[in-house]
Amino acid sequence: MPAALRRAASALVCLAVTLPATACGPPLGDKTRPELLARAIEATESAESVTLHIDVLSLMVPMKGSVSLDGRGNCVAEMSYGAAGVAELITIENGEVYLRRDEARLRAQERHRITRDLLDDLAGRWTRPPADGPDAPAELALCDVRRTPLGLENGWEGDSAKSEVTTVGGRQAHKLAKPVDGDGGTTTVYIAAEGPPYFLKIVTTGGDEAGTTTFSHYGRPVGAKAPPAGTLAVTD
């Protein structure tokens, strides 16, 4: 898996986290910051489905796109990697996987075996790669993301973590911000203050993983389905 994609996937992969429930900082309503964050992680992880809109810089590679996924294996993802091209991925709960890459993405990933014929056959067309094993596409990491980033489990107890109530997209939200250790940046999370305490947005500044991830379309069908037959590449 390319380093940038691996870092981006790990930056989004879920942690099974247990946070302290003791009063260790200024309360948000009747909840401390760690309690609220723990509830947000639990609610977001247990949502039937969610869409993530990603706009981050990972190891100097700009990654921008969206991932819609549910807990049954359905996923629709599209990601741009700047000059390294665009990839689209569909996974269906029956195990089918579909991948489409533009010419720039093919050149970046297949540079050791790239030919004009390969580009003509595959660029802009859907393929059906395996779902596992050495030939499984690296882009599957996008559909393995578990909705909340690493690094949220620590550092919210002390006075260095600030909190307030604000709005995100017209929704009332708890805003929690804390310094990022060692790089002078800040992690800010926005958690729905009404209804389930879902994550609404996470913003990181500074460091080599800066950017914004927003969360939307909770509980809506993902709509993953096989591409039309005429858009599939013909491979041997």
Using one digit for the tens of pLDDT, what is the confidence trace for 150-164? 557 667 777 777 888
The mean-pLDDT minimum among 9-23, 96-110, 133-147, 219-233 falls in 9-23
Query: Apex CA 18: angle with CA 43 and CA 57, to 5°?
Result: 70
**pTM for this predicted structure:** 0.81
169-211, pLDDT tens digit by residue? 899 999 999 887 666 788 899 999 999 999 999 999 987 778 9
Name the nearest CA neighbour of 32 among 154, 188, 163, 165: 163
Tokens of 49: 């489905």
Identify the pLDDT of residue 109.
87
* pLDDT of 234: 67
Pairing of β 61-70 and β 162-168: unpaired
Q: Of the ranges 96-100, 109-113, 192-196, 226-230, which one carries the lowest mean pLDDT score?
A: 109-113
Give every CB contact of residue 19 below 8 A, 6+ residues apart in sequence: 34, 35, 37, 38, 153, 156
pLDDT band at 103 (very low <50, low <70, confident <90, very high): very high
- For the segment 88-93, the average pLDDT, to the nearest whole number, is 96
Residues 6 or more apart in contact with residue 72 via CB below 8 angstroms: 93
CA 160 remoteness from chain centre: 27
Average pLDDT, the chain: 81
- Closest to 44 measured CA to CA, from 218, 236, 228, 226: 218
